[in-house]
Amino acid sequence: MTLATVTLLLHLAAAVPAAPDADVSVKPAVGKTTATDPFAAQPAPQSSAYSPSTPGESASPTLTAASLSSGSQNSQSLSTIRVPPVQPAVPAKVISVESIPSRRTWLILSMVQHSAAAFDAYSTRQAIASGAHESDPFMRPFAQSPGIYAAIQAGPVALDYAARRMQRSQNNFLRHTWWLPQSASTGLFLFSGVHNLSLVHH
């Protein structure tokens, strides 16, 4: 009896077809969005590309409303920009090479001036040796030593530099009277030297 029951159950199990496995994957609902998906509500971008239906058909570009609105906004933003008026540039005054005095003349005046200063120092030493006194307070500390030859050249060096700067000055008056400092200094040194020699003879 038991064997017959088991045999009957096996025949029934074989006769009933097996049911397919249930699909447990969750398909998203079309047209529904959730709060956790930020990109679900965005529509698909519309492509502005076009393609002719036939190879021989001519293609004509089309403008979208978005491009027209952006173009109008750009034109409005450009219209609000104010360009300041351009100021005319002031031309720089350039001195030509021909208008600059010769350096050779400057060198000649420099040598004459330094020679006159050396003559003044020599005559001062001779006058002091004969009993005279130095009246220049700047040269008085050097009058009793040979250092007067070097100390007396400080003035001519400064005047040489000033004359050279006057040669390259933008002022026409200074550029044409650059020789005055050296010439005046040379004349003063010669006058002082002659005066010192006159004291030696007396």
For 147-192, what is each residue's pLDDT tens digit?
Answer: 999 999 999 999 999 999 999 898 999 999 999 999 999 999 999 9
189 contacts: CB under 8 Å, gap ≥ 6: 113, 116, 117, 119, 120
Using an 8 Å Cβ cutoff, are 197 and 121 in contact?
Answer: no
More confident residue, 55 or 84: 84
Average pLDDT (65-81) is: 58
Q: What confidence tens digit (pLDDT) does each residue in 121-159 have? A: 999 999 998 888 888 888 888 888 899 999 999 999 999
What pTM was estimated for this model as a whole? Answer: 0.51
Using an 8 Å Cβ cutoff, are 142 and 148 in contact?
Answer: yes
Considering 11-15, 64-68, 184-188, the range whose residues carry the highest mean pLDDT is: 184-188
Q: What is the pLDDT of residue 47?
A: 47
Q: How many helices (H) and strands (E) does the chain have?
A: 7, 0
Average pLDDT (73-88) is: 66
From 1-10, 43-52, 161-170, the region with the lowest mean pLDDT? 43-52
Q: What confidence tens digit (pLDDT) does each residue in 92-119 have? A: 555 554 556 678 999 999 999 999 999 9
